[in-house]
Amino acid sequence: MNMQIETTNPASQPFLELGISSDAADKALLLLSAGGAEPPELEERVAHLADLCQACGSLPNAKLAYSLAGRSGHTFNKQTCGLLAQALCCSGCVPAAVRLWKKALEADVNEAGFLVTAARLGEDGAEQIRVLNALKLSPDKLPAAEELARRLRAHGWACEGSWGAVTSPQRSLVWWDHAVPSERRPFGMSLTTHPISLRNKLGVKLFFDVRHEILGTTDRCHLEVSVDGKRWEKLVKFEGVSDWTSTEVDLSRFTEEEILLRFHVLSGGQRKGRGMELADLRLEWVQVTRQQKLEFTEHSEEWEVEGSQLLGKKSEVAICSNDFSVSGLTTPTVTLEARLQASSVYAEGTIEVVSGEEVVARETITPTSEWLQLNLQLPESLSGDLKLRFCSRFNKRKESDGLWVRNPRVRAGTESGRATVGLDGGFDDGIPEQKALLRVVETGEVQELERLLHLRRGLPSLKYALALAAMLRSEEQIPALLLLFSRLKEEAVEAFAVLGELAVGEDPLLQARVLLESGIAAYPSTRDHLGDGLLSAREFEDNCRLYLQLRESWSEEEARRGLSLILTPVADEDAQERRDHFLKLLQEYPAADGLFSAWDKHWAK
């Protein structure tokens, strides 16, 4: 870290780098020095408290955690401090997190995954300890429980209109804007997140895989962002045809904001093309671990400097900050709030980061009545001294006219603070699902947790995974159940029960596809036309595959009639001869009427 920060006590440096004021840092040192401490020991205590501060997000909470941990009777070193920091990151209650940490050490648990899972899954300290004890007794449950608990707390997506979740064998969960065709409408079809906080996150990027086929002249889809849920800014437009591609969207200018993301579809008429499909949506960022307030000690009388706020009172006058350096830092970013107050529409304010005479980052603002959050991301390769420079051009007509700036800071992280977080939570998940998962962790078998996770990866929420898991009898049934749910939603339970009654011992995925084509009510009758109980298992399966092929362009009635032709002898030909001839005619006459006519002519000879 190479930031130029002056302090009366060098031991305060780690706190100052976190953006903590000198006064608060000095008070923290008093706490850490209690009972006497040699410089090496004090340095270690400062490092521990700084780590807890990063985990908590505030110095008061970190001091509380440090104090409670000190009274626990357990040794506080780098490893145990790291465990406590992990528990604090996932818990909203400092005493509960410290209590969980204490119980983990007493149980000789030293893997962070145990604490993180317990903190995410337990609603309070007592439940967290129950989860910890259950995982301690059956550590082989941890991988599935950890992933399920993570998804339970992750951001997810809410569907409007025809958007919905479908299952893909290659990509697990896929969001498709035509999953519920009956709900399609010209406007208001959106896939939207809950508010996502970008506080203390730098270089934020959204990643996802997308495939689209948008052919209608009035059809279109945009990725949009909003900071208030009312006004939406378009970021990416999707049009035309594209196979699966990986997409990256820079959101770094929204640092310190709380944002909503949505994929918004508009359709002015009949749908043309398959539409939008999205998979593997995730955010990447660098956590802020270093902060420095930028000082302005040299300025002219045309600038007022009061605490963290500056006001440029005269046009064409610039002001520069003291020198600072970002050498060796990850995603260094200058953040500030600015407002240009002026009556002229031609007024302009400029915020620049300069290295000597070279401008390495610049932001221009025009007159506005609102404070703007500005983020100037700097190249990581920069070395040497930098300055932040403000200048403005306006005609001053009121005393309050001018370029207003406040809270200028340089913020950065380290490579170890880079994080990728999946946007794969469930909008339907809440306390009931949390309680149900806790019961499975406590009383279920490892296989039950693993099946639940397998289902959850292809479903939009734990709620649905829990409902469908009760119906499973084997792992082989999972693809069929996911397919039924992606098309039938709640009716998948009834459909799967029908398969369980009529398709025992058969390929569950194949029969699920047949049921979806015929419909739940007609499925038993369709099986009769396929030769259920009249043919060998192999012949029946071949008929099922042929039925699916026919239903791609034929109606249910036409497909049944075609199957009857194969089953009904005309003369003394055998069954295989009739089937081979049917398949040959199907290649020549893909339409049902043409094939039936050719079939009659052939046997009339």
Question: What would the pLDDT profile of 543-589 be if each residue is shown by its tens digit?
Answer: 999 999 999 999 999 999 999 988 887 767 778 888 898 999 999 99
Residue range 407-418: average pLDDT? 88
Percent of the chain scored above 90 by pLDDT? 49
Minimal CA–CA distance to 310: which of 376, 406, 386? 406
Q: What is the pLDDT of residue 574?
A: 78
* pLDDT tens sequence across 344-389: 778 888 999 999 889 999 999 988 888 899 999 999 888 889 999 9
Answer yes or no: is pLDDT of 306 > 80: no
Please tell me the pTM assigned to this model.
Answer: 0.84
In this predicted model, which residue has the larger pLDDT, 278 or 578? 278
CB distance 475 to 452 below 8 Å: no
Q: Does residue 175 sit in helix, strand or coil?
A: strand
pLDDT at 293 over 80: yes
Residue 69: closest CA among 91, 85, 54, 46: 85
Please check the confidence at residue 271 and state whether its pLDDT lies above 70. no
- The answer to whether the beta carbons of residues 190 and 161 sit under 8 Å apart is yes
**What's the whole-number mean pLDDT along residues 206-216?**
91
Q: How far apart are CA 523 and CA 489, in angstroms?
A: 18
Q: For the ranges 67-71, 305-309, 372-376, 501-505, which has the lowest average pLDDT?
A: 305-309
Are 322 and 248 a contacting pair, CB within 8 Å? no
Architecture field, domain 290-418? Sandwich (2.60)
pLDDT value for 286: 93
Task: Give the three-class secondary structure for 200.
Answer: coil
Tokens of 510: 């194949």
**Average pLDDT over every residue of 434-461:** 93
What pairing do the DSSP bridges indicate for beta strands 358-365 and 348-355? Answer: antiparallel
Amino acid found at 306: E
Pairing of strands 172-176, 164-168: antiparallel
Q: Mean of the pLDDT values across residues 328-334?
A: 92
Hunting for tokens 């420079």 — which residue is that?
Answer: 389
pLDDT confidence of residue 1: 29
Residue labelled with tokens 């079939």: 599
What pLDDT does 317 receive? 74
In the predicted structure, residue 604 carries a pLDDT above the cut 70: no
Residue 280 has pLDDT above 90, yes or no: yes
Average pLDDT over residues 288-299: 84
Greatest mean pLDDT among 56-65, 111-120, 216-225: 111-120
| Residue 151 pLDDT > 90 | yes
Mean pLDDT of 443-469: 92
The whole-number average pLDDT for the span 31-47 is: 81
- According to DSSP, residue 284 is labeled E
Beta strands in 45-156 (DSSP E): none
Amino acid at 111: E
pLDDT surpassing 60 at residue 2? no
Which token pair is 190? 């959106």
Distance CA 176, CA 161 (A): 11
Confidence of residue 526 (pLDDT cuts 50, 70, 90): very high
Tokens matching residue 17:
């780098």
More confident residue, 9 or 522: 522
- Residue 269 confidence (pLDDT) above 70: no
Per the prediction, the chain carries an average pLDDT of: 88
- Please list the alpha-helical segments (H only) found in 282-331: none
Round to whole Å and give the CA distance between 537 and 517: 20
| Owner of token pair 């007493």 | 106
127 or 401, higher pLDDT:
127
Across 397-405, average pLDDT: 81
Q: Inform me whether the pLDDT recorded for 282 exceeds 90.
A: yes
Backbone phi, then psi, for 275, in 5-degree steps? 95, -150
* Amino acid 5: pLDDT: 35
* pLDDT greater than 90 at residue 183: no
Residues 157-286, CATH architecture? Sandwich (2.60)
Q: Which pair of structure tokens corresponds to residue 530?
A: 């396929």
Contact call for residues 209 and 223 (beta carbons, < 8 A): no
CB–CB of 511/537 below 8 Å? no
**Which helix (H) or strand (E) element contains residue 348?**
strand 348-355
Residue 6 has pLDDT above 50, yes or no: no
Give the sign of the dihedral formed by CA 354, CA 356, CA 360, CA 365. positive
Band the pLDDT of 307: cuts 50, 70, 90: low
Let me know if the fold of 157-286 is the same as that of 290-418: yes
Q: Count Cβ atoms below 10 Å from residue 4 Cβ, excluding itself.
A: 11
The pLDDT, as a whole number, for residue 391 is: 87
CA terminus-to-terminus distance, the chain:
91
185: confidence class by pLDDT, cuts 50, 70, 90: confident
- Backbone phi and psi for residue 193, each to the nearest 5 degrees, phi listed first: -85, 165
CB neighbourhood size of 355 (10 A) = 16
Q: What is the pLDDT of residue 121?
A: 92
Phi, then psi, of 200 in degrees rounded to 5:
60, 30
CA distance 255 to 204: 7
Domain ranges of the chain: 10-137, 157-286, 290-418, 426-470, 471-604
Can you give the pLDDT at residue 328? 86
Whole-number pLDDT of residue 7: 41
How much is the average pLDDT of 185-194? 85
Asked if residues 30 and 46 have their Cβ atoms less than 8 Å apart, the reply is no
